[in-house]
A = this chain, B = another copy of it.
Amino acid sequence: MMVAESYETLYGPILADIEREMRAVRQEQVEVAPMLWDIIDYQFGWDLPPNQGDQFKNITGKKIRPLLMALVAQAITGDYHHVLPAGAALELLHNFTLIHDDVMDKSLERRHRPAVWTRWGADQAVNAGDALYALANLANARLFKHGIPAEKVVDVWRAMSQVCLWTAEGQILDMGFETRETVTTGEYITMITHKSARLIEAAAYIGAVLSTNDQAVIDGYRHFALNVGIAFQVHDDYLGVWGDETQTGKSATSDIREKKKAYPLLAALEHASDDERTTLRHLYAQKTLSDDDIQHVLAIFDRFGAAAQTDTIAQQYFKTAMASLDKTGIQNDTQALIRRYAMFLIRRAY
């Protein structure tokens, strides 16, 4: 897949440094309960022999958050090594939320392998997630090795704690939506903002705050990342209904089949006539949707321009993101890499 190849070619060395730092954080700990460390090694693919062919993409994850942090730091200072501990921390934190999310969502697989709870049970998965969050916090203490002053370390810690609280609140909103009759597109944006975009925002914020005291630059990268994060989610919702299977790797209309309360459905519900809204609700109230049902849903989506609305919203956030990036006033090769990074996330260039 060409896109993935370029991602690795462009960002490979940074990703390798992040990986190395994450392993160092783990190695630093004295093992009390060996099973915990088995679970952590498994989650990150560290139980596998090194240099497995597809290990990079499939097992260890794309590390989009620490990568953004490193890129922002490099765009500002020309180097990124001073943010690696915080990058490792954020990736550990992200994985803690994944382990718990898989328990809550009953997702059997993660990165082409059984999810932690599938293999070790829900209780141990809850525990391992808790431990991983603690380990993420400990990773930040390694910032001192790079001469980062304590005030900045505290700032990083605070930002990560705040984003973790928001992520949990986003998850709670998401679970609440499942049992609600009506969810507005506005409420949905609030949910995805907190459930996932805030973490991307935190990545850029931390990369910037560890590299400059210029508030305008920090704010520029922060707003860029927040808006890219929202655009990413909305565009993902678009691809979940109208995506190209060969590009997304999941079947088109899969979000309809799984009855996801994603942006296209909410936009259609908001603009549909009372009759069509009732029809949509009835279709989604069924236990499973037949192929005919899915075509029916698609037809209603079509009639009320759900595709265009979803695409427009994603584009708006993406444009705001790019404008925020410009406001940093920084122009160099790394800034160009950040632009490409945003396009990788959205999986196409607007």
Contacts and interface: CB of A to CB of B under 8 A. Distances in A.
A130 B168 contact: yes
Interface stretch (A169-177, A204-212, A269-277, A336-344): A169-177
A168 B128 contact: yes
Contacts of A104: 123, 126-127
Contacts of A137: 137, 157-158, 160-161, 164
Contact of A138 (B36, B100, B165, B171): B165
A143 B273 CA distance: 55
A334 interface: no
A103 interface: yes
- Can you tell how many copies of this chain the complex includes? 2
B124 A175 contact: yes
Given A137-B157, A165-B131, A176-B35, A126 B124 contact: no
B157 A150 contact: no
Given A150-B149, A162-B134, A33 B173 contact: yes
21 contacts: A32-B169, A32-B170, A32-B194, A33-B168, A33-B169, A33-B173, A33-B176, A35-B176, A36-B168, A97-B130, A104-B126, A130-B130, A130-B164, A131-B164, A134-B164, A134-B168, A137-B137, A137-B160, A141-B158, A141-B161, A149-B150
Interface in A117-158: 122-124, 126-131, 133-135, 137-138, 140-141, 144, 149-151, 153-154, 157-158
A131 to B, nearest CB: 4
A161 B134 contact: yes
A166 interface: yes
B170 A33 contact: yes
A116 B313 CA distance: 38
A190 interface: yes
A238 B103 CA distance: 36
Interface size class of A (residues with CB under 8 A): 35 or more
Given A169-B33, A173-B32, A194-B32, A133 B131 contact: no
Contact of A158 (B138, B151, B165, B170): B138
A29 interface: yes
B127 A172 contact: yes
Nearest to A149: B150
Contacts of A158: 137-138, 141
Of A137, A140, A173, A175, most B-chain CB atoms within 10 Å: A137
Contacts of A35: 172, 176
A103 B126 contact: yes
Interface string A211-249: 000000000000000000000000000000000000000
A155 to B, nearest CB: 9
A172 B36 contact: yes
Contacts of A157: 137, 140-141, 154, 157
Contacts of A170: 32-33
Counting from the closest, the 5 A-B pairs by CB-CB distance are A150-B150, A137-B161, A131-B168, A134-B165, A134-B164
A185 to B, nearest CB: 17
Nearest to A131: B168
Contacts of A135: 161, 165
A149 B141 CA distance: 16
A158 B150 CA distance: 12
A71 to B, nearest CB: 26
